[in-house]
Structure 1
């Protein structure tokens, strides 16, 4: 009888992780977001990694009086997927315009890798920054934040001196840095996050991406890693389709020895075929809007803006505000996103006019 009970106990212990597996994603928002709503989304289209889209939303809650929120359950895929937690204070009347397009002025989001059994938390940092740190037993959950930090360094390198020579040197350098770093993370979804940034058809980097695609085996290697880790998923299928389309475009242009302007026209035609009218329309709608810094930016971000307009360096800004250079870079990144610019020169041009 004792042996029988022992067998039953061991069986229960073995199946208990399967029965009770559940996720918990919790954290805090700062005082400016307590009256907002927090969204948990499953991101299966890596081209829609920023913003809030109705088809991606899994859950929506309001933080409590301390700013705390928590999403729990056992309904997520067992394999890793991309997830996004987004908080904003957009009025309900602006839902279709602001939430779905991801351009609500007062918003903050974080993207991470997780699964149905992962517990992670998003604490407010010592410097009172939200969504800048992920605490998790799986280090891969932090991959996107680390990549964002590298992207900030890349943008800073591009903005130090705006010349064609500097752009070419930095483009080659940072493509290599980001690709090598992504591969070292041992998480193909993190590499997709990098790929979506480098291959963005609305970015100045897209032309170099097509050149890089001609001779760099990295892209076929990423496809192999995706098929190994995430076979039959939308991520792999979407990447494979995009890669084949771009490789065909590059090969056709190379064989025909087309001039650059024909190459550009082909790229534009491909954009229309792939259905990116949405992104183009969103850009046209927002490119002429000059945000009101007092309404859009936090107090810290407004201070950083004033110091940028005063031609202060990151180090000088950090010294004047009594914060680290890393925190200054975070403020600048948030400021760029809210003002819809990508460099100091654009900030100065925006407010000079």
Structure 2
């Protein structure tokens, strides 16, 4: 009895170990098998330098069994999460574009060697999946959310999309790698710069979180560079606005000063300083044709005093000669 127990225990352990060796498994149900290779290809996606796009590197291939089954060993994966791609290839390269438009022949997913993903048979290839990877689960949620915006029309509401996507990426997606994918979608729609300018604190904290994580820096270096560019643009814009604002303020101050000076001059013209009694007498004598010497003799004052009075009269009446005085009488 004891030997039977050990036999079943050993069988269970061996079975569990064998099962655990397969990270990726599933079935493909090809409608027109004569057009496709009987292989499933596995590739890893890598971000392009200073770009929000990816390129893929083929890792391995798995033959498709008669019943459509395929599998990939866990040794093909690493302990870190990466984005992978499963796809099948048409037999004829000439038919690649035609067949790809008719059939979705690939699927992207997130996985590490500690996780599993299984694809069940379905009408469309690689669509029905089960995975224990949390990031991949979040990504599927993001895909379902974005499906509503697959075919954008001319009446596309940018503000509504930005509000909904921003809220979903920030509040719903807790996996950093998937957040990056969601932010990439914002960038594809030309909305990342607008959102980063409106919410700089969020993006700065996200970069700090990414840097402290185990993610490969190449996955978020584009976002970091993008945010630096946006920050620099914002700073330059604020500086330019500040220069224009200062220039406008100086212009306004100059205009106000000119208005004040003109106002004071008008006030001075409108309110002439009254002449003294002696100045009035001298003014009348000048108008009557008297010379300076005659005025001095008549008033019993010195010639220099007469000249001083005349100078004061000219200043108060805003004139410069006897001719002006005669014209102003």
In the superposition, the TM-score normalised over structure 2's length comes to 0.56
- CA drift of 1:146 comes to 1.5
In structure 2, what is the Cα distance between the partners aligned to 1:228 and 1:186? 15
Q: Does 1:141 align with 2:136?
A: yes
* Equivalences for residues 1-353 of structure 1 within 5 A: 22-32=21-31, 34=33, 35-36=36-37, 37-45=39-47, 47-49=52-54, 53=55, 56-89=57-90, 91-92=92-93, 106-125=103-122, 128-155=123-150, 159=153, 162-163=154-155, 167-181=157-171, 184-200=172-188, 205-206=189-190, 208-216=191-199, 217-230=201-214, 232-256=216-240
**Shift in Å, 1:25:** 0.6
Change (3 A) 1:254 1:212: farther
**Alpha-carbon distance in structure 2 between the residues aligned to 1:242 and 1:33:** 44
Contact 1:23 1:118 in 2 (8 A): no
Secondary structure, counterpart of 1:32 in structure 2: coil
Q: Report the secondary structure of 2:64's partner residue.
A: coil
> Given that residues 22 and 71 in structure 2 are in contact (C-alpha distance below 8 angstroms), is that contact kept between their aligned partners in structure 1?
no
Q: CA RMSD in A?
A: 3.4
Preserved CA contact (<8 Å) 2:110 2:133: no
Structure 2, gaps ≥5 residues long: 1-12, 242-329
Deviation at residue 253 of structure 1 after TM alignment = 4.2
How many residues are aligned here? 219
Q: 1:236 & 1:220 partners in 2: Cα distance?
A: 13
Counterparts in 2 of 1:252 and 1:105: CA distance versus 1, 3 Å = farther
Task: Give the Å deviation of 1:104.
Answer: 6.6
Gaps of 5+ in 1: 1-12, 258-353
Partners of 2:32 and 2:209 lie apart in 1 by 39
Secondary structure, aligned partner of 1:143: helix
Question: Offset at 1:150?
Answer: 0.5
TM-score (norm 1): 0.53
Q: 1:151 to 1:231 in 2, by over 3 A?
A: closer
Question: Contact between 1:38 and 1:87, CA under 8 Å: does it hold in 2?
Answer: yes
CA distance in 2 between counterparts of 1:48 and 1:172 reads 20
Q: CA deviation at 1:62?
A: 3.7
Q: Distance in 2 between matches of 1:151 and 1:138?
A: 20
Using a 3 Å threshold, how does the CA distance of structure 1 residues 248 and 23 change in structure 2: closer, same or farther? farther
Residues 210 and 250 in structure 1, CA contact (< 8 A), matched pair in contact too = no
1:223, CA displacement in angstroms? 1.4
For 2:215 and 2:107, the matched residues in 1 are separated by: 26
